[in-house]
C-alpha cells in the first residue's frame, strides 16, 4: 500500500532531476533559443515538401477567410486549425529525427514512434479540414450563390 508521502515523493522526483548534469548542449539564452526555433522553421520549409505545400494551403485558406469576411472569432478558429497542422508536422519531423538519431537500424519501436507521430499529423489534418468546412463552407456557398 502506497502512503501519501510515497506518492508525493514519486510525483516530485522528476523535477529534482537537473538536466544540465546530462546535457551540456542545451541552450540557456532566450535569444539563441529563438534563433534555433527560426532555424528549425527554415529547415522544414527548405527540406520538407509537405511543409511547403502546407504553407501555400495555409495562405490560400487565410486569403479565402478574408475574402469571405468571416468575423474575428471565426478567423481565430481558422488560424488555430492551421496552426495545429503545422505543430503536428513540426513535432513529427522532430520525433523522426530523434528516432533516426537513436538507431540507424530498422527496429519495431522506431516504426511505432514514427508511425504514431505521423498519425498525429493525419489527425490534425482531418480535424482542420472538418473545421474549415464547418466555418468556411456556409459563407462560401452563400458567396458563390450556390444556395439558390
Residues that bind other proteins (CB under 8 A): 7, 10-15, 17-19, 22-26, 28, 30, 33-34, 36-41, 43-44, 72-73, 75-77, 79-80, 83-84, 86-87, 90-91, 93-98, 100-102, 104-109, 111-112, 115-116
Q: Evaluate whether 123 touches 52 at the Cβ level (below 8 Å).
A: no
What span, in angstroms and rounded, lies between the C-alpha atoms of 123 and 115? 12
Of 20 and 148, nearer to other proteins (C-beta) is 20
Nearest approach in angstroms of CB 148 to other proteins is 29
Q: How many CB atoms lie within 10 A of CB 7?
A: 10
Joined together, the cell numbers standing for residue 131 give: 473545421
Q: Which residues contact 59 (CB under 8 A, 6 or more apart)?
A: none
Of 9 and 67, nearer to other proteins (C-beta) is 9
Q: Evaluate whether 50 touches 92 at the Cβ level (below 8 Å).
A: no
Of 83 and 129, nearer to other proteins (C-beta) is 83
Of 3 and 147, nearer to other proteins (C-beta) is 3
Q: How many CB atoms lie within 10 A of CB 109?
A: 10
Nearest approach in angstroms of CB 116 to other proteins is 8
Amino acid at each position: 500500500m502506497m502512503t501519501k508521502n510515497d506518492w508525493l515523493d514519486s510525483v516530485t522526483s522528476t523535477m529534482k532531476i537537473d538536466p544540465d548534469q546530462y546535457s551540456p548542449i542545451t541552450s540557456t539564452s532566450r535569444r539563441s533559443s529563438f534563433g534555433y526555433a527560426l532555424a528549425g522553421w527554415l529547415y522544414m520549409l527548405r527540406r520538407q515538401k509537405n511543409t511547403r505545400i502546407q504553407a501555400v494551403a495555409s495562405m490560400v485558406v487565410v486569403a479565402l477567410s478574408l475574402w469571405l469576411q468571416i468575423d474575428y472569432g471565426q478567423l481565430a478558429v481558422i488560424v488555430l486549425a492551421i496552426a495545429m497542422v503545422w505543430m503536428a508536422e513540426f513535432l513529427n519531423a522532430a520525433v523522426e529525427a530523434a528516432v533516426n538519431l537513436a538507431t540507424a537500424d530498422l527496429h519495431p519501436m522506431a516504426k511505432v514512434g514514427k508511425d504514431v507521430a505521423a498519425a498525429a499529423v493525419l489527425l490534425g489534418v482531418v480535424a482542420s479540414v472538418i473545421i474549415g468546412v464547418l466555418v468556411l463552407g456556409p459563407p462560401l456557398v452563400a458567396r458563390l450563390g450556390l444556395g439558390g
